[in-house]
């Protein structure tokens, strides 16, 4: 019989709060984290709004000197990991450090560091480039810095699969735990993409909302008038353990990480498959991994970016996976509040699934006004909904055709 893998701790930094409690409270209250960009002057850009983790101060979570040697995505990863470890009550010792894995993913890595370093090289010369540039920009830096911070000596790496990175990292940790390669995992993702280069690039792809002066109603996932995503930032980390080990140390078990599915569209470098075939296959795979049927799913946290093609494709994917039951399962896009945190999104949304199961309340899709005939499912519009559920799935789809789905089950 397959050993159950359970969740014993969670940590977040997000546009809705600097910990799990704040982020979740604001999510179920329908608070938007979107506003004018304050990290830099965006006046020259066509897009001047984002969902920033505005009150994040790295020195509150780590030594100020170390903070200066870490990119923002690494700083947020350490902060989220610190909360997750404290929440789990896990003590890292010489005896267990080698059996703990840490997989903190990132789609983009330290883009601000890269952008700044290139400018310094061209304007001031190579001798002015920081010797910390490489460890600050590399995508595995969040995992490596966190491992150093907490003395974790097991497998340590990052998964890069665009906006599916966080979910794929958690899914990879689940498989490693199931095979006995490790006993405990810190798994999640961190992303700090709100830079002039990244905002400009995503806008050039045609993916961004440009509602700079009327940002109170964007993004609008699944709404007929949706016009694109809003970029977000943040980190989320979960502590995963084998059930016997968690019980033996008296851990508070939050939920079971029950299943994982991953596929590729093999269709287009940015656009999703119009029929959502890859997403549907990943959902079915995650449910098979969880040994669950579609009629057990009480909630879907959708990828739901607010782009015209993505939301239509995901709706079709859900219909392909669930059949007639697609019209009965509640679905929401929490990106309507957090913005799209790129690789970190799937990890944060896994946290939201755990919270929905534990608290019996489903977060809403805010900004939903005008139904789209092509997106005709139950998207929990505008108000959170009380519901007792035992199984939730979280969809994370990314550029390159990556599809990753996690299944979270109530622990009993």
Do 266 and 361 meet the contact criterion of CB atoms below 8 Å apart?
no
- Inter-CA distances, 312 with 94, 160, 207, 231, 345, Å: 50, 25, 14, 20, 19
Asked whether the CA dihedral 150, 8, 32, 209 is positive or negative, the reply is positive
Q: Which of 135, 303, 129, 326 is nearest to 222 (CA)?
A: 303
Backbone angles phi, psi at 118, to 5 degrees: -65, -40
Do 218 and 367 meet the contact criterion of CB atoms below 8 Å apart?
yes
Render the burial of 157-187: b for 16+ CB within 10 Å, e for the rest. bbbbbbbbbbbbbbbbbbebbbeeebbbbbb
Which three-class secondary structure state does DSSP give residue 172?
A: helix
Which three-class secondary structure state does DSSP give residue 8?
A: strand
* Residue 296 burial (10 A CB sphere; 0-12, 13-18, 19+): middle
Do 187 and 237 meet the contact criterion of CB atoms below 8 Å apart?
yes
Q: Which of 105, 164, 97 is nearest to 349 (CA)?
A: 164
Do 253 and 7 meet the contact criterion of CB atoms below 8 Å apart?
yes
- Inter-CA distances, 402 with 160, 268, 272, 306, 316, Å: 10, 10, 9, 18, 16
CA distance 403 to 263: 5
Q: Which of 261, 295, 301 is nearest to 279 (CA)?
A: 261
The β-bridge relationship of strands 5-13 and 299-301 is unpaired
| Helices (H), ranges, 191-344 | 196-205, 243-248, 277-289, 308-322, 335-338
CA distance 294 to 249: 34
The residues assigned a catalytic role are 163, 303, 340
């Amino acid at each position: 019989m397959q050993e159950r893998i359970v969740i014993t701790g969670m940590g977040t930094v997000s546009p809705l709060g600097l910990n799990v409690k704040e982020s979740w409270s604001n999510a179920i209250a329908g608070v938007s984290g979107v506003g004018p960009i304050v990290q830099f002057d965006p006046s020259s850009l066509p897009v001047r709004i984002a969902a920033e983790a505005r009150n994040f101060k790295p020195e509150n979570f780590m030594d100020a000197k170390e903070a200066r040697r870490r990119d923002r995505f690494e700083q947020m990863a350490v902060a989220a990991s610190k909360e997750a470890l404290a929440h789990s009550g896990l003590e890292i010792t010489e005896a267990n450090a080698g059996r703990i894995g840490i997989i903190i993913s990132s789609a983009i890595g330290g883009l601000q560091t890269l952008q700044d370093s290139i400018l310094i090289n061209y304007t001031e010369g190579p001798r002015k480039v920081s010797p910390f540039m490489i460890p600050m920009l590399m995508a595995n830096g969040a995992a490596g810095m966190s491992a150093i911070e907490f003395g974790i000596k097991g497998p340590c790496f990052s998964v890069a699969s665009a906006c599916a990175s966080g979910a794929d990292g958690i899914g990879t940790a689940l498989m490693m735990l199931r095979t006995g390669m490790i006993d405990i995992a810190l798994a999640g993702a961190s992303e700090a993409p709100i830079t002039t280069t990244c905002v400009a690039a995503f806008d050039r792809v045609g993916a961004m909302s440009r509602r700079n002066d009327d940002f109170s109603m964007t993004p609008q996932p699944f709404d007929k008038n949706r016009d694109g995503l809003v970029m977000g930032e943040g980190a989320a980390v979960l502590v995963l353990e084998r059930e016997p080990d968690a019980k033996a140390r008296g851990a508070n078990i939050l939920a079971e990480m029950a299943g994982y599915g991953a596929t590729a569209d093999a269709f287009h470098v940015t656009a999703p498959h119009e029929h959502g075939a890859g997403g549907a296959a990943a959902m079915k795979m995650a449910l098979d991994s969880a040994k669950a049927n579609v009629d057990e799913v009480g909630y879907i946290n959708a990828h739901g970016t607010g782009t015209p093609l993505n939301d239509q494709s995901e709706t079709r994917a859900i219909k392909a996976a669930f059949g007639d039951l697609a019209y009965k399962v509640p679905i929401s896009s929490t990106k309507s509040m957090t913005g799209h945190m790129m690789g970190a999104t799937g990890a944060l949304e896994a946290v939201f699934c755990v919270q929905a199961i534990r608290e019996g309340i489903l977060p809403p899709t805010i900004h939903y006004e005008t139904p789209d005939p092509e997106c005709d499912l139950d998207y929990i519009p505008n108000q959170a909904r009380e519901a007792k559920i035992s199984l939730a799935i979280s969809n994370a789809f990314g550029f390159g055709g990556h599809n990753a789905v996690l299944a979270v089950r109530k622990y009993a």
